[in-house]
């Protein structure tokens, strides 16, 4: 019997993939400033802080929300010399040429600092990273954007691989699963069962660092739920703060996402919010949530052909929450215990489907679905090596029943590349060209 050592017992800190991107940025000879965008509380500040203190002799962090006085350094002339002198007079430093990283956190609270990036980069003495929530960056006026002097990175909550690192799972185990994905061969049974168990944990804990840390620190899941509810409360506060005239409608849409995903077809129906609600009336609210990184649109397409964007219907869509752990927390009906115990069929498979959607977004895959008068409803379509591929998410034990996928393949012979069913079973290649993959393998697609 083969025995596997799954755990790295020394793992006790959240390891993030963005650290590799930060390192690559630092080694680039033609460096510009780096702007890290993302929803609030996904770990931007912590990641930059750890990177700066590890890779630079001098690390200077300026948080424009925590220290509003620092904004005054950018009130006058925006040349680099004046700004550095102003910041030094405020007690920031030391500024040592060639050895200093300056981190402007919550930069949306100081639009002039964003404008000044061009001049600071041109000055060339120090290196700069900016960070801000999508809420503020998208809705704060900047007089002149630093085009050509700023590289942008998007940061998300932990993906499943990062969650495995947090749980101390060694990389060799992940590579065994990756090999099975690429070779379409079963994962060793013990590893598969363990990864499915961890995937259920990830589904309810989610990837928000505060919630993950609470999950790792306490056997009592109530502490994780408490952390998630605090995060949800802060998002509702942000909606009230930033959404302006759209705040009431945006909050209504945000709070309705779990209920809408609980429906069989999961399409977001505005009529459930108020009688006679129209897409025109709510389009700004739903787009606001999407642009803030809180929700992900999955648009309906009218044709099974590339490019998918050519046939998308902007008035027909599903809305997924950006973090499945927060989705579970919003349902408020104790579904966490059911998911942890192995029942991921609940709520019409909303948890499993939302988790896959969030994982695809983190991998840069736009979300599209297809629905032909309920005869052929396909969960996700995506471009795959120049061809169309289809993903069906099956949360129950009857995952080999997929009439919609069968119909799509029959109606479009030769037009579909991969036909994937994500399920709780092990890897299997069926004779009809269907590939069955465990739900956790969304991280490899």
Quick check: 1 pLDDT over 60?
A: no
Quick check: 231 pLDDT over 70?
A: yes
Return the SS3 of 210: helix
How much is the pLDDT for 11? 42
Confidence of residue 5 (pLDDT cuts 50, 70, 90): low
Closest Cα partner for 244 from 292, 200, 210?
Answer: 292
Longest Cα pair distance anywhere in the chain, in angstroms? 72
Give the rounded percent of residues in the chain with a pLDDT score beyond 70: 93
pLDDT for 235-259, tens place per residue?
A: 999 888 888 888 999 999 999 999 9
Give the single-character DSSP code of 187: P
pLDDT for 293-340, tens place per residue?
A: 999 999 999 999 999 999 999 999 999 999 999 999 998 567 887 788
Least confident of 114-128, 205-219, 295-309, 325-339: 325-339
Least confident of 20-34, 58-72, 362-376: 362-376
Mean per-residue pLDDT, 154-166: 97
Q: Who's near 388: CB < 8 A, 6+ residues apart? A: 304, 305, 306, 308, 381, 382, 415, 416, 417
Return the SS3 of 273: coil
Rounded Cα–Cα distance for residues 352 and 375 (Å): 22
Rounded Cα–Cα distance for residues 222 and 131 (Å): 31
DSSP string spanning 319-368? EEES-HHHHHHHH-S-HHHHHHTT---TGGGHHHHHHHHHHHHHTTPPPE
CB 37 within 8 A of CB 153: yes
How much is the pLDDT for 254? 96
User: Two tokens at 290?
Assistant: 């999407």
Is 0.85 topped by the overall pTM? yes
Rounded Cα–Cα distance for residues 109 and 115 (Å): 12
User: How many C-alpha atoms does 341 have within 13 Å on its Cβ side?
Assistant: 7
CB 297 within 8 A of CB 259: no
Confidence of residue 146 (pLDDT cuts 50, 70, 90): confident
Confidence of residue 128 (pLDDT cuts 50, 70, 90): very high
Least confident of 7-21, 73-87, 186-200, 376-390: 7-21
Average predicted confidence (pLDDT) for the chain: 91
Closest Cα partner for 244 from 140, 156, 377, 133?
Answer: 140
Return the SS3 of 167: coil
């Amino acid at each position: 019997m083969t025995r596997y050592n799954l755990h790295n017992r020394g793992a006790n800190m959240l390891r993030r993939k963005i650290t590799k991107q930060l390192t690559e940025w630092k080694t680039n000879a033609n460096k510009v400033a780096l702007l890290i965008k993302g929803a609030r509380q996904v770990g931007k500040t912590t990641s930059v802080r750890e990177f700066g203190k590890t890779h630079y002799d001098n690390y200077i962090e300026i948080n424009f929300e925590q220290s509003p006085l620092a904004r005054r350094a950018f009130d006058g002339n925006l040349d680099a010399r004046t700004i550095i002198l102003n910041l030094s007079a405020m007690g920031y430093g030391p500024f040592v040429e060639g050895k200093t990283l300056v981190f402007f956190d919550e930069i949306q609270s100081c639009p002039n600092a964003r404008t000044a990036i061009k001049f600071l980069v041109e000055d060339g003495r120090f290196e700069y990273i900016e960070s801000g929530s999508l809420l503020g960056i998208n809705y704060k006026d900047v007089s002149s954007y630093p085009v050509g002097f700023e590289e942008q990175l998007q940061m998300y909550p932990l993906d499943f691989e990062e969650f495995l690192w947090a749980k101390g799972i060694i990389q060799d185990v992940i590579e065994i699963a990756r090999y099975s994905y690429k070779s379409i061969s079963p994962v060793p049974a013990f590893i598969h069962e363990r990864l499915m168990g961890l995937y259920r944990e990830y589904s309810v804990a989610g990837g928000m660092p505060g919630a993950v840390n609470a999950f790792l620190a306490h056997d009592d899941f109530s502490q994780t739920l408490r952390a998630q509810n605090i995060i949800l409360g802060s998002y509702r506060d942000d909606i009230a703060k930033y959404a302006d005239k759209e705040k009431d409608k945006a909050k209504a849409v945000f709070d309705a996402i779990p209920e809408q995903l609980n429906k069989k077809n999961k399409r977001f129906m505005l009529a459930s919010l108020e009688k006679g609600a129209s897409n025109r009336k709510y389009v700004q609210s739903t787009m606001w949530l999407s642009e803030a990184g809180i929700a992900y649109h999955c648009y309906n397409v009218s044709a099974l052909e590339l490019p998918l964007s050519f046939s998308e219907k902007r008035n027909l869509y599903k809305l997924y929450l950006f973090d499945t752990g927060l989705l579970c927390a919003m349902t408020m009906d104790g579904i966490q215990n059911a998911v942890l115990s192995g029942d991921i069929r609940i709520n019409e498979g909303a948890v499993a489907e939302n988790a896959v959607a969030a994982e695809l977004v983190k991998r840069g895959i736009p979300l599209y679905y297809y629905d032909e008068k309920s005869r052929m409803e396909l969960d996700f379509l995506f471009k795959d090596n120049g061809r169309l591929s289809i993903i069906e998410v099956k949360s129950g034990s009857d995952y080999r029943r997929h009439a919609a996928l069968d119909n799509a393949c029959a109606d479009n012979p030769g037009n579909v590349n991969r036909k994937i069913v994500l399920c709780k079973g092990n890897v299997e290649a069926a004779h009809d060209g269907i590939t069955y993959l465990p739900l956790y393998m969304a991280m490899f697609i």
